[in-house]
A = this chain, B = another copy of it.
């Protein structure tokens, strides 16, 4: 049985330069939430890429594309840099349609019932987001991932439009360094606290739950924050929160890499890093919602799989020595720790 290529979204077309806006001209207004969110993610992309280039010394390569029906994306990748083996920062704006069952799940999660209306066929949606994964060379410099997205469904079969925010930032070291983890988690606690005192505890736990690899009984890394289906207050407040989260990537992550990027390591430690990257691949390909959604809705494959590490390894039945630093990392992935007071 051949599974046909996902057909929900039209094939993208490479363009020479990133356009000022990926929204549909004269349809999506600049002062709409779509317009505001696009500006926020474009600005974050520029600012984060500039800071990463400063630290790495290498340059991002940019690819831009649009789709005939509207939408498109800008992917920036720094591969084989001085500090990062592969770092990607991508923004995209997608107009598509989702299966009714995905819509039912989404609207229920977003707190809106369907009031018994029949939902059949495919439901039109809009999604914009920024997504990034950065994998350094150095064994002691952690991988970081972040993703912030805004989602809307159009009015459909008498059901009013829906909207929600989602996202998060999380960190994946190969060795536990408490100081680094306190810095990273502490930065995001400050961000959360600026917007709602209940956010950090809730979103830290959500990250610990989300990045779980059931078949391993462990998380892919040491977490951070994660949230989804967020629409419980004025959208401007949630936009401000998401924007603050994106703006805090640099201060939460780059100082750690700057400190660790030249630490010496052994071939055995490099091999452990490669095995942990194998876990990263397992999580992303098997469980990550963004990845599996992208693969199934026909997103641009190279942008979706930009999150995979450049190199990964699977050794048969590799188990760290009890009491070793590797065993400590594994324990922290199995039993999430609290890094902030």
Contact = CB atoms under 8 A, between A and B. Distances in A.
Interface of A: 1-6, 61, 63, 75, 77, 79, 86, 88, 209-210, 212, 214-217, 274, 278, 281-282, 285-287, 292, 295, 301-302, 304-306, 308-317
Contact of A314 (B212, B216, B305): B305
B1 A209 contact: yes
A79 B313 CA distance: 12
A306 B316 contact: yes
A210 B1 CA distance: 6
A6 B282 CA distance: 16
Contact of A308 (B4, B63, B215, B314): B314
18 contacts: A2-B209, A2-B212, A3-B212, A5-B215, A63-B317, A77-B317, A79-B315, A88-B316, A281-B285, A281-B312, A302-B317, A305-B314, A310-B313, A310-B314, A311-B311, A311-B312, A312-B313, A312-B314
Contacts of A88: 316
A178 to B, nearest CB: 25
A6 B285 CA distance: 18
Interface of A is mostly: mixed
Nearest to A277: B312
Contacts of A215: 5-6, 295, 301, 304
A309 B314 contact: yes
B316 A79 contact: yes
B316 A214 contact: no
B301 A216 contact: yes
Nearest to A77: B316
A312 B310 CA distance: 8
A121 to B, nearest CB: 21
A110 to B, nearest CB: 15
Q: Which 4 A-B pairs have the closest CB atoms?
A: A308-B314, A285-B285, A77-B316, A302-B317
A305 B282 CA distance: 10
Contacts of A311: 274, 311-313
Nearest to A217: B5
Contacts of A79: 315-316
A227 to B, nearest CB: 13
Contacts of A285: 281-282, 285-286
